Amino acid sequence: MRLELGKINIVDVQFGDTTKIESGTLYVNKQKIIDIVMEDEHIKSVEVELAKPGEETRITPVKDVIEPRVKVEGQGEIFPGVMSKVTTVGTGRTHVLKGAAVITCGKIVGFQEGIIDMSGPGSEFTPFSKLNNVCLVIKPVDGLKQHEYEAAVRMAGLKVATFIGKVGKDVQPDEVEVYETKPLLESINEYPNLPKVGYVYMLQTQGLLHDTYVYGVDSKKIVPTILYPTEVMDGAILSGNCVSACDKNTTYHHQNNPIIHDLYERHGKDINFVGIIITNENVYLADKERSSNWTAKLCKYLGLDGAIVSQEGFGNPDTDLIMNCKKIENEGIKTVIVTDEYAGRDGASQSLADADAKADAVVTGGNANEVIILPPMKKIIGMLDYTDKIAGGFDGSLRADGSIEAEIQVITGATNELGFNKLSTIGF
């Protein structure tokens, strides 16, 4: 598959009479966005706010972040199986509103949504502080169950991102990047002397608002399978989970997965990037065994020499991570695992809930228990009344002056396990 990504650089976002792009500024029609969101009978109200880099603005409770994109050429549409028909994507040309995002907010679970600060020390821990954000603060109708609330907010974000993305269809991109993965035998013949490397992409699928969707299917219902990397860029994988904010993979993370981009950068130079194996993170032991068995089998079937394995979440998924690592290594394939740590505020506790001697090559996104003080902000998009209960917070986290003392796990993307952050850890 061959995909061209046309990047349209967005340097500002403003409200306007029409939704359009002019000279790098994204103008959005506020009332049109409200109308789109309010089509859902499960939603009581929505507030549409703008948040720009450097502003003294705090966005919370954050549910998801989505990058507006639009198919220009090729099969299918963005977000297949959800916002469009179930057509295989990943070919042709896609335009990207680079520097813009749609952020959905809502107190869905209360303790597992996150914070994005657009300035101050907290802004350094999240990539989303550098974006021009259209924020949707969505309240449900009375009596709506949490999973129904989550579904409504998820769909609202995708609908708005799709609407905004379409204005880039006829805009000339500032830059075009090309990504291509050829059929396996053709790829091997093209680079016979380079090590074959694959990417094992673990998806959060523990249920109870811990879901990820692949072509519209709840991925806890799948067995491990193979994707072309360019399918991910066209929105084949969507976030639907409410795990801790620091290591959640938002939809934006999936669209811009840095592991995929880095592997493409080295493809044909010092590695042969064969493709992606997606797998899930299960609750029951039998399901963990099944998925890790299939993952190792597919790695062997593809003839890989090495595999990168990324995780989402912590605790229970640590077992899936180590199972995948051990079984792939047992097939004679070298692995590197990408995770983060919950090592206590002093960094002295065991970092992962599971471990094995074969997991001897580890990239970490940092220690989520590190404590930070977030100064008060002039503007709050959303609400703060749950701050003491959020994962990483505690009784008294929200101070009288509006500042917050908490662990960095309250910050959306702070220790992201795709490496989409600034943190890491040096081992001795």
The active-site residue, picked from 105, 135, 242, 299, is 242
31 Cβ partners below 8 Å, 6+ apart?
A: none
Question: First CA to last CA across the chain, in angstroms?
Answer: 42
DSSP state of 300: H
Closest CA to 101 of 57, 69, 139: 69
Q: How far apart are CA 31 and CA 45, in angstroms?
A: 13
Q: Verify whether residue 242 is a known catalytic residue.
A: yes
Q: How far apart are CA 149 and CA 139, in angstroms?
A: 8
What does each C-alpha distance from 337 to 290, 311, 370 come to in angstroms? 20, 8, 22
* Partners of 92 in beta bridges: 3
Closest CA to 407 of 342, 363, 359: 342
Count of Cβ atoms closer than 10 Å to residue 427 Cβ: 7
Question: Following CA atoms 368, 318, 218, 411 in sequence, which dihedral angle do they give, to the nearest 10 degrees?
Answer: 0
The maximal CA–CA distance of the chain, rounded, in angstroms, is: 65
Q: How many CA atoms lie within 13 A of 84 on its CB side?
A: 16
SS3 284: coil
| H helices present in 302-410, as ranges | 316-330
Q: How far apart are CA 148 and CA 68, in angstroms?
A: 24
Burial (CB < 10 A; 0-12, 13-18, 19+), residue 190, is exposed
SS3 339: strand
* Partners of 212 in beta bridges: 239
Residues catalogued as catalytic: 242
